[in-house]
Amino acid sequence: MASPVFHGLAGAGLAYAMAGDGSLPLFSWARKNLGLLAAAAGLACLPDADYLPGLWRGALNAVHQQATHSLAWAGAMAAGLWLAGRAWRPTQFVGRALGYILLLATSHLAIDLVTADGSAPYGIPLWAPLSDVRVQAPVALLPAWDKATLSELWSGNNARPLAIELGAGLAFAAGCIWAKRGWTRRKAAL
């Protein structure tokens, strides 16, 4: 499955596409909204919180790709965060914010679907708890990582997947920026 590198860059790119101000210079907007970009990157990585029990056990994949990689969990997590946000800042967490949070959570699932899976259980339980069937794209667009243990995670074998994810993540984020800039520069049709 993909690393936080790609998930985080995708989340930050989506945050800019959804909430960025295309009329401001890019780096000025990013500097003013660093917290938003960091929160979006974190939310896009949140389904991988299931690595934490594996860290305690010494086997990273012990409970990875379980319930946190389902649409039901993404929906429940998005609703919970949105409700907490509504209680904290009601004027900022309007209805659109729920859609943003849900998009960030499901972006993680979409990325993991197209990433090679090198260890069992293969695929993600997208439809859990309604079905035990695991889903994986027929073609992997991103390579698998060697990550059974923490020491294996830092091995040289992962230099290639890291480079590919970094390049793909930067390209995705750049595409989001380019798309947002294009949307905000268009003139009215009439």
Per-residue pLDDT of the chain (190 residues; tens, 9 = 90+): 889 999 999 999 999 998 877 677 888 888 899 999 999 999 999 999 998 888 888 888 888 888 999 999 999 999 999 999 999 999 989 989 999 999 999 999 999 999 999 877 889 999 999 999 999 999 999 999 988 777 888 889 999 999 999 999 999 999 999 988 877 665 544 4
Helix or strand run (H / E) with residue 44: helix 34-45
First and final C-alpha spacing in the chain: 47
pTM (2 d.p.): 0.88
The Cα 179–Cα 89 span in angstroms is 29
List the chain domain ranges. 4-185
Classified as helix, coil or strand, 24 is coil
Non-local CB neighbours of 134 within 8 Å, separated by 6+ positions: 65, 121, 122, 123, 124, 125, 126
